[in-house]
Every structure is written in C-alpha cells, then in structure tokens.
Amino acid sequence: IYDVTNLGNVLIKELEKRVEKNN
C-alpha cells in the first residue's frame, strides 16, 4: 500500500528541483 500523501510530497519536491534548474 502506497502512502499517497508522502508520494505527493516527493513529486512536489522533484518538480521544485527541476524548476530551480530551469531558472
């Protein structure tokens, strides 16, 4: 069983890292 909340937080962190690299 996956922890949906934790998974969402991980995805958000990954997106933030990509945004920082692009900027």
Q: What is the pLDDT of residue 13?
A: 95
Q: What is the pLDDT of residue 1?
A: 58
The amino acid that residue 5 corresponds to is T
CA-CA distances (angstroms) from residue 18 to 1, 3, 12, 13, 23?
28, 23, 10, 9, 9
Q: What is the pLDDT of residue 3?
A: 76
- C-alpha–C-alpha distance, residues 22 and 2, integer Å: 30
Q: What is the pLDDT of residue 5?
A: 85
Q: What is the pLDDT of residue 2?
A: 67
Identify the burial level of 14 via C-beta atoms within 10 angstroms of its C-beta, where 0-12 means exposed, 13-18 middle and 19 or more buried.
exposed
pLDDT digits (tens, 9 = 90+) for 1-23: 567 888 889 999 999 999 888 76
Q: What is the pLDDT of residue 9?
A: 92
Q: What is the pLDDT of residue 11?
A: 93
- C-alpha–C-alpha distance, residues 23 and 18, integer Å: 9
